[in-house]
Amino acid sequence: MAVSFTTLQIYDQYLTTYRSRDYDSSNRKVTRRSSRYDTHDQSELQNVYSAIQWKNRFAPLYLTEPSPKSIAFAVHLKESAQNLKQTINSLSGDNNDLFSMKTAYSDNEDLATAEYVPEEADDDVPANFSLEVESFASPQVNTGKFVDASHTTQLKPDSYSFDILSNKLHYELQFNINEGETNKELQSKLSRLINSSDIGVSAKVVEQDGLSALEITSDAFGLPYQSARHFIINDDNTSYHNGVVDYLGLNDNVKEASNAIYSINGNEESSYSNAFNVHGAYRVTLHPENGVGNAEIGLYADTESLSHNIETFVDGYNHFLDGVLTDLPEDKEKEDDLALTRLLSKDMTKFLDVHRQNLEKYGITVNEDASLDYEKPDETVMDTDALKGFGNHMIRKLTSISLDPMEYIDRRICAYPNPFTNYINPYMTSIYTGMLFNTYT
């Protein structure tokens, strides 16, 4: 498929909508957190291709007339299935046994939360450790001078510009000052200009007692690697008129960035961000809004970890259903959407009925709408063979869903394949299989 501007827009929309996201305190932006389940080797891709071929040996030819809503449903269904599959895989322990992942705890989650991530664990990971936080990582903050918000700016109307130097990169921001523009209007304009530029800093207008100031903050936390500051603002050698930096005092009040300072079992350490690894196995995230203090961090017992793993799975499964199943329509115009909900709901109910009795032993209840409830049983069942069997069966089911989500859209059978021929069209199963689906591609 040729790459065009339209194609790039489609891919950008797809990745922006569906790629997994997380909050990173060192960046203050939503960023992608990758894991070992995000990558695939050649054998896995070959298995997907082989599965498509095998499916097409017996798949009939369908006539589909997908509406924009059904297309969106198929894309979302595939991504939801993939996300749930990743959630189940992430509950595997060091030996890849499902639902055997250890769970970390913190006795002071207002100060710090902990997650167990064994991929880079040290040879000897302690069962617990003491954390004492002295200070948090912070960004560089430049707060301009407070001026009368409603007063007309004293700079004459014209074209202006100033420079922001960030990570040895030079950005020139250009703008106009209009007749009768107030100080706050000018500050708000510069705030929007900076935020839309995506140059490693963000801005906002702060107000107090009728006065306003422009506050500019670095996206990066902690001490800079190579320079004294994360960013520098000046208009000494800019292309258009200067004077804005001095007028708004953008360099007058600078709060320098700082590292997080903390101790692990009495040994002082530092971090550029408020999220860091301990012994390669604990991912600790500090919460500056609650102040410094102490916390005991460690691993739950196996029974507690199992309960947490089941709860995580149930939450992920229900989120999978909530994301793709909608409420029953209130009017006849929406009746066509019922097929999108009924097919999946009916299929998942049938699938869960096979495992209902085993799931109940672990405190998992199957509801009529195919959702799950979990209540920890009085006596935890440590024999997890039935639970692992269910998990493996669920992964295979989700793989089938993500392979051809168009199966859950009403479509008419046109013809069955000739059983006496060996011809296989590897992409006939679905016009969507394994690829982005869009009417423009």
Look at residue 333 and give its three-state secondary structure. Answer: helix
Whether 405 contacts 77, CB under 8 Å: yes
Confidence at 54, pLDDT banded by 50, 70, 90: confident
| pLDDT average, residue stretch 311-340 | 66
Ranges 74-83, 278-287, 362-371: which has the least confidence: 74-83
**Going by C-beta distance under 8 Å and a sequence separation of 6 or more, which residues neighbour residue 234?**
162, 163, 165, 245, 251
Predicted confidence at residue 99, as pLDDT, reads 86
- pLDDT above 70 for 339: no
Confidence of residue 22 (pLDDT cuts 50, 70, 90): very low
Query: Of 21-25, 109-113, 279-283, which gets the smallest average pLDDT?
Result: 21-25
pLDDT at 333 over 50: no
> How high is the pLDDT of residue 434?
44
106, 114 Cβ separation under 8 angstroms:
yes
Q: Determine the pLDDT at residue 31.
A: 41
Per-residue pLDDT of 209-263, as tens digits, reads: 999 999 999 999 999 877 789 999 999 888 899 999 999 999 889 999 999 999 9
pTM: 0.69
Give percent of the chain with pLDDT exceeding 70: 79
- Residue 327, CA distances (Å) to 69, 72, 76, 334, 338 in order: 15, 17, 16, 10, 9
pLDDT digits (tens, 9 = 90+) for 372-397: 999 988 776 778 888 889 999 999 99
CATH annotation of 139-255: 2.60.40
Average pLDDT of the segment spanning 299-311: 88
Residue 22, classified by CB atoms within 10 Å of its CB into exposed (0-12), middle (13-18) or buried (19+), is exposed
The answer to whether the CB of 199 falls within 8 A of the CB of 165 is no
Predicted pLDDT at 11: 56
Please state the domain extents for the chain. 5-100+303-415, 104-137+259-299, 139-255
C-alpha span between 385 and 355 (Å, rounded): 12
Query: What is the tens place of the pLDDT at every residue in 154-197?
Result: 999 999 999 999 876 889 999 999 999 999 999 999 999 999 98
pLDDT at 354: 92
Higher pLDDT, 418 or 317: 317
Average pLDDT, the chain: 81
pLDDT in tens, 119-145: 777 778 888 999 999 999 999 999 999
Helix axes 302-324, 338-361, angle to 10 degrees: 170
pLDDT of residue 438: 41
- Is the separation of the CB atoms in 354 and 386 below 8 Å? no
Q: 40 or 243: whose pLDDT is higher?
A: 243
| Residue 296 contacts residue 132 (beta carbons within 8 Å) | no
